[in-house]
Amino acid sequence: MAKKRKARAASSAEESRSYTMSRVKGSDTKIEVALRKALWRSGLRYRKNHPHLPGKPDIALTKHKIAIFCDGEFWHGKNWQAVKAKLGARRDYWIKKIERNIERDGENERRLAALGWTVIRFWGKDIQKNLELCVAEVQEAILAAQAGAAYKDCPFDEAQSLSAEEAPDYL
């Protein structure tokens, strides 16, 4: 009798986990929608989840060949070494899954670069906390693309530490 209860409990836990994971959105997440709306308000037009590009970028500015990915911190491995050390349940599963996601992100970036696309990646928290700075970074990449120059990724820390005199006009 105890074995049957344990089997039902395990099955129930698996069903619950399966249901929870099925609710995780792959597109049109809050961070994607927030960034898209901000880009639209600034006059930029884009395609979302472009099916013909490697990795199906969340936002593709086809006119400027800029692919934008809005990455969740856990799923794409922000501070991965620290997070990996803290994993508990199903540790081996999550390590394999997240490391494969990180690897796939790199593969897609290389494939897009080979096609002449500029890739910009934003962490979800950066979009939530610094939406205007994210839009400014996209605008900087557009200006670089128009000038034929290579876009240099600017970490948030540097941009936030600029004085008013040093800050570019769009910040």
Q: Which one-letter DSSP state was computed for residue 164? A: T
Judge whether 90 lies within some domain. yes
Judge whether 167 lies within some domain. no
Residue 150 has pLDDT above 90, yes or no: no
Q: How far is CA 113 from CA 64, 119, 142, 163, in A?
A: 13, 7, 15, 33
**Tally of domains within the chain:** 1
Residue 167 has pLDDT above 70, yes or no: no
Over residues 38-66, mean pLDDT = 95
Q: How far is CA 149 from CA 61, 139, 145, in A?
A: 17, 14, 6
The domain that holds 114 is classified in CATH as 3.40.960.10
Judge whether 8 lies within some domain. no
Judge whether 102 lies within some domain. yes
Domain hosting 110: range is 28-148
Give the Cβ contact number of residue 46 at 10 Å.
21
Does residue 15 contact residue 3 with C-beta atoms inside 8 Å?
no
Judge whether 72 lies within some domain. yes
Task: Give residue-wise pLDDT tens across range 23-42.
Answer: 666 678 899 999 999 999 99
pLDDT band at residue 164, thresholds of 50, 70 and 90?
very low
Judge whether 71 lies within some domain. yes
Residue 49 has pLDDT above 50, yes or no: yes
Give CA–CA dist 11/13, Å, rounded.
Answer: 5
